[in-house]
A and B are shown apart, each in its own frame.
Chain A
Amino acid sequence: MTDVTRTESSWRPARFDVSRPVLVLFAALLCMLIIMPMSWLVYYSFVDRAGSFTFGNFVTLFTDPDFLNPLISTVIVATSSSAFCCAFAAPIAWLVARTDMPLSGMVRALVTASFVTPPFLGAIAWELLAAPNSGLINKAWRAATGAEMDDYLFNIYTLPGLIFVISCYTFPYVFVLVANALDRIPGDLEDASSVLGGRTWFTARRITIPLTMPALLAGALIAFLQAMTLFGSPAILALPAGFHTMTTKIWSLFQFPPKPELAAAASLPLLVLTIVLLRAEHLILGRRGYSVVGGKQGAPRLVRLGWLKWVALALVFLVLMLPVFLPYGALFNAAFSRVASQFISFSNFTFQNINFVLFELSATKLAVKNTVILGFLSATIGTILAVVISYVTSREAITGHRALGFLATAPVAIPGIVLGVGLFLSYARPPFVLYGTLWILLIAFVTIALPSAYQQMQSAFRTVHVDLEDACRILGGSRLRTLVGVTAPLLRTSVLATWCFIFVGVMRELSAAIILFTSDTKVISVLIFDLKESGDLGAIAVLGICMLLITFAVVIGVNRIPGFGGSVKVRNQ
């Protein structure tokens, strides 16, 4: 300690105020990430091909049924998915967090598995399962009931099919938010209710549920935004069904001859809708206080379900069949099967798909390399940005910290494909030509990940009470020394979780990448999308499984780094 004091005291007189350069640097960076692409987006939406001012793009957008119908479909898909997610995720979260249902750890792990699954891969798996004629479920059903050749149980190429598949891979967002909120509700409040004579269900209804409403609302909103901005699932399921959503429509505007002005104009409703919804959430929640964390709190009380807990567990596993067991089963089946839509049998078994993807497909190596590089870089840069910005904002370390916090949260309002269009317009022509390099994808991935990474780190900073830092500073530690010696070690679990969260996000990302890739900067998700176009389902299954193995290997590997220790699960929000 004496050593530290000496170093610090000799250093302190020469202390230079670093806050201004830090602020300027980060603000400049965030402007490059967010403000520049969005400005180009707005600019392009108001000019015609020749570059003169016009409202023509918006007139087309709101009068032409080619644009109006996708807009309506998008709203229907997003609203229903959001409702579905809440209807299923909230009860499961409650069962896991507040009841004595067994195997709750495993349920959480399975939800994580469905979060890690890229939505487009899930959509392809569900094609294998529930395409009306070749889908495995429909085949099994026909075999079991002796139904006619054309009869089917499920048709995934429909609006409800799309909503279902999107919900399967969006509900983890709601689950995690609600489960975390339930974990945080102190037992004391519920005890108080019991002491005053409230029964179990009364307490749940009057105390527990109201306290989780903000999380549920936030979850519903995030599910809505996710469903609205997904590109892969509608491209895979809606196009064969004969309808567009906004994201697939925007993508189709890049067909030759490209119409970037219309794409920009079509992106703006998504942007405006997102901002309006976020604002609305803020208004609804802003007026109420839900501060439940403070002082010592008792452990949450578990509701005893009795024999019902087995029923509950069975139901939960039944629901989790849909995003996890069935799709993975279908992918494994397709990977080892000569014909993707047939059950593996002795005559049907093959290693050909694996051989093709690993040794014949010449694009595999480059795509895997690009994806891993981008995953590591985005996760590292994104985490550093999130840690620094949330430190600055939560400790109010420099003036202007609010602006930084706002800039870090702003991308939440920018759907992936809109960001892709914006970045393409900004960085595909001089003076900044980043298109064609991994940089433009890096910018996109970091920007997309930043808001949640920042939120995550900020809530982590809140859990480290400033007293601990003050203690260090009173003993003579500098701000930096405090951050490195006290705050960072306390936060390492959250830092790792944030890193993994961003890494997983990069593996899942397709909507910005589909606009920004070139043949040299292709990532696995885009390669899978290309394979989908030509119907190479066996290769997709193998590549998808490889992708998941890479994800799990990296996440587990990172959590085993010596010095970090501890067990970290991929969390989000």
Chain B
Amino acid sequence: MVCVPFSRRDLLKGSAAVAASLSASPVSAQAPEPQAITPALIAAAKREGKLVFYTAMDLQFAERLGKAFEIKYPGMAVRVERSGAERVFQRIDQEYQSNIHAVDVVNTADQAHGIIWKRNGWLDSYLPEEVVKYFDKAFYDPDGLHVTTRILVSPIAYNTSLVKKDAAPKSFADLLDPKWAGKMCKGHPAYSGTIMNATQQISRDLGWGYFEKLAKQRVMQLQSATDTPKKIALGERAIMVDGAGYLVIQGKEKGEPVEIVYPTEGTPLATSPSAILKAAPNPNAARLFFSWMHSREAQQLLVDAARQYSPHSQTVEKPGVRKLTEIKLMKEDPATVERTADEIKTRYAKIFGV
């Protein structure tokens, strides 16, 4: 038996810290009934036999998650449609405007999307049993319309063969040092939900002036938060300003020369909501996948293989990742992101030119 150096209490504390940083939603009068995975649901899902999963998570893991589901429930086929969270959001909007209902289950990296879809009345109310049992209330919508599947952080990271450890930046402020000019890459808030939230949090805590100074550093502008860790691993740029922390950890464990830095000002946080669409073409398959995705089995895969943080209190942390409680996190504010997303994108594009 491998000794796990984390106690369950640690984990709960970590989740609670994130939960506390989420804005509380008003409790609705009638919480929906928790739903178990019943043989009837499995049979109905298998009759549909397939589902379409729009997601913003890294493609390799999204496909792995789909395959694990197909193995658990033979006869099911999952088609993954991956792009940045903001593009996923735009895609669903564009398709729904034309009455195209192709998506069954969606997962993005921006809680604001849950708010908007709920308001549009596009989401199916469905609370898996395990979510009610093992997830903090802050991690699911009281009306059961969306559930937080993953907890993401957007730290700084660098390539260790290009930057010495003691020379590495410690904070966002350090990145303004002229010696990093032309050596950084960055994701874009119009494509990535993680970066959208990171941009909102950094601009709130450090001011837009920070980005104006950063833009003078000739930053290479990428799109997805999943691209920046790959670019520093290739050595194309020495430092990533933001991006998916979990991919840096994955890369490091694969032997890539990358190292994470949790900036002293605080690390941007983005929790990642999932939902079932009301107009899903495969409603039972969607419910089965949704329930399974939030089960301990899938959530443990999320921790072990994807190296992300899980909101499921029964998951066991795998060493090699800093505990959430030990990271100084910026406060996530989906309501403000929802209200100001367009303004953030416009202002960002003005500053960085694209």
- List chain B residues, Cβ under 8 A from A530: 82-83
Please indicate which of the listed interface residues A157, A243, A252, A534 has the most CB atoms of chain B within 10 Å of its own CB.
A534
Chain A interface residue bracket vs B: 35 or more
- Distance to closest chain B CB from A42 (angstroms): 21
Q: What 4 A-B pairs have minimum CB-CB distances, sorted nearest first?
A: A535-B227, A436-B100, A535-B230, A134-B236
- List chain A residues, Cβ under 8 A from B234: 131, 133-134, 339-341
With both beta carbons as reference points, the residue of chain B lying nearest to A522 in the complex is identified as B81
The answer to whether residues A243 and B81 also contact, given A256-B89, A360-B67, A436-B95 and a CB cut-off of 8 A, is no
Contact A239 B100 (CB under 8 A): no
Q: Does A257 contact B (CB under 8 A)?
A: yes
Docked complex Cα distance between A509 and B102 (Å)? 24
Name which of A6-14, A427-435, A442-450 contacts chain B: A427-435
- List chain B residues, Cβ under 8 A from A157: 220
Q: Does A197 contact B (CB under 8 A)?
A: no
Contact A519 B54 (CB under 8 A): yes
Docked complex Cα distance between A366 and B102 (Å)? 14
- List chain B residues, Cβ under 8 A from A428: 97-98
Interface hits, B87-121 → A, CB 8 Å: 87, 89-91, 93-95, 97-100, 102-103
- List chain B residues, Cβ under 8 A from A531: 59
- Chain A 154-169 interface 0/1 with B at a Cβ cutoff of 8 Å (1 = within): 0001000000000000
- List chain A residues, Cβ under 8 A from B81: 363, 519, 522
With both beta carbons as reference points, the residue of chain B lying nearest to A366 in the complex is identified as B79
Contact A534 B226 (CB under 8 A): yes
Interface hits, A245-279 → B, CB 8 Å: 248, 252, 254-258
With both beta carbons as reference points, the residue of chain B lying nearest to A65 in the complex is identified as B350
Contact A361 B86 (CB under 8 A): no
- List chain B residues, Cβ under 8 A from A533: 83-84, 87, 191, 223-224, 227
Interface hits, A352-368 → B, CB 8 Å: 356, 360-363, 366
Q: Does B10 contact A (CB under 8 A)?
A: no
Docked complex Cα distance between A356 and B227 (Å)? 18
Of A242, A256, A534, which contacts B353 at CB under 8 A? A242
Contact B354 A536 (CB under 8 A): no
- List chain B residues, Cβ under 8 A from A429: 97-98
Of A256, A340, A360, A534, which contacts B227 at CB under 8 A? A534
Q: Does A149 contact B (CB under 8 A)?
A: yes
Of B67, B80, B90, B235, which contacts A133 at CB under 8 A? B235
17 cross-chain CB contacts under 8 A: A131-B234, A149-B162, A150-B183, A240-B222, A256-B90, A257-B342, A339-B256, A360-B63, A362-B63, A362-B79, A433-B99, A436-B102, A519-B102, A530-B82, A535-B222, A535-B230, A536-B60
Q: Does A508 contact B (CB under 8 A)?
A: no
- Distance to closest chain A CB from B239 (angstroms): 12
- Chain B 170-203 interface 0/1 with A at a Cβ cutoff of 8 Å (1 = within): 0000000000001101000011000000000000
Q: Does A200 contact B (CB under 8 A)?
A: no
Contact B235 A341 (CB under 8 A): yes
Contact A534 B82 (CB under 8 A): yes
- Distance to closest chain B CB from A137 (angstroms): 13
Residues of B within 8 A of A (CB-CB), count: 62
Contact A356 B60 (CB under 8 A): yes
Of A66, A131, A539, which contacts B350 at CB under 8 A? A66
Contact A255 B98 (CB under 8 A): no
Q: Does A567 contact B (CB under 8 A)?
A: no
- List chain B residues, Cβ under 8 A from A243: 353-354
- List chain B residues, Cβ under 8 A from A258: 90, 93-94
Contact A240 B78 (CB under 8 A): no
- Chain A 503-540 interface 0/1 with B at a Cβ cutoff of 8 Å (1 = within): 00000000000000011101000000011011111010
Q: Does B19 contact A (CB under 8 A)?
A: no
A-B contact count (CB 8 A): 140
- List chain A residues, Cβ under 8 A from B79: 362-363, 366, 519
Please indicate which of the listed interface residues B59, B66, B67 has the most CB atoms of chain A within 10 Å of its own CB.
B59
Docked complex Cα distance between A240 and B86 (Å)? 18
Q: Does B237 contact A (CB under 8 A)?
A: yes
Q: Does A244 contact B (CB under 8 A)?
A: yes
Of A131, A252, A362, A534, which contacts B224 at CB under 8 A? A534
- Chain B 52-72 interface 0/1 with A at a Cβ cutoff of 8 Å (1 = within): 101000111001101100000
Of B59, B67, B78, B236, which contacts A131 at CB under 8 A? B236
- List chain B residues, Cβ under 8 A from A254: 90, 94
With both beta carbons as reference points, the residue of chain A lying nearest to B227 in the complex is identified as A535
Contact B352 A242 (CB under 8 A): yes
Docked complex Cα distance between A464 and B227 (Å)? 55
Q: Does B221 contact A (CB under 8 A)?
A: yes
Task: Given A520-B102, A530-B83, output 16 extra A-B contacts at Cβ < 8 Å.
Answer: A69-B353, A134-B231, A243-B353, A254-B94, A255-B87, A356-B60, A360-B64, A362-B77, A436-B95, A519-B91, A519-B103, A533-B191, A533-B224, A535-B222, A535-B224, A536-B59
- List chain B residues, Cβ under 8 A from A150: 182-183
Docked complex Cα distance between A533 and B87 (Å)? 10
- Chain A 298-341 interface 0/1 with B at a Cβ cutoff of 8 Å (1 = within): 00000000000000000000000000000000000000000111
Interface hits, A132-161 → B, CB 8 Å: 132-134, 149-150, 157
With both beta carbons as reference points, the residue of chain B lying nearest to A433 in the complex is identified as B98
The answer to whether residues A519 and B98 also contact, given A242-B221, A257-B342 and a CB cut-off of 8 A, is no
- Distance to closest chain A CB from B48 (angstroms): 16
- List chain B residues, Cβ under 8 A from A241: 220-221
The answer to whether residues A362 and B66 also contact, given A436-B98, A436-B100, A533-B83 and a CB cut-off of 8 A, is yes
Docked complex Cα distance between A509 and B251 (Å)? 34
The answer to whether residues A535 and B231 also contact, given A243-B353, A519-B52 and a CB cut-off of 8 A, is yes
- List chain A residues, Cβ under 8 A from B31: none
With both beta carbons as reference points, the residue of chain A lying nearest to B70 in the complex is identified as A362
- List chain B residues, Cβ under 8 A from A252: 190, 349
Contact A66 B349 (CB under 8 A): yes
The answer to whether residues A133 and B237 also contact, given A149-B162, A255-B86, A435-B100 and a CB cut-off of 8 A, is yes
Contact B236 A244 (CB under 8 A): no
Docked complex Cα distance between A518 and B230 (Å)? 27
Contact A518 B236 (CB under 8 A): no
- List chain A residues, Cβ under 8 A from B93: 256, 258
Docked complex Cα distance between A30 and B106 (Å)? 39
Docked complex Cα distance between A361 and B78 (Å)? 10
Interface hits, A398-433 → B, CB 8 Å: 428-429, 433
Please indicate which of the listed interface residues A238, A339, A340, A531 has the most CB atoms of chain B within 10 Å of its own CB.
A339
Q: Does B318 contact A (CB under 8 A)?
A: no
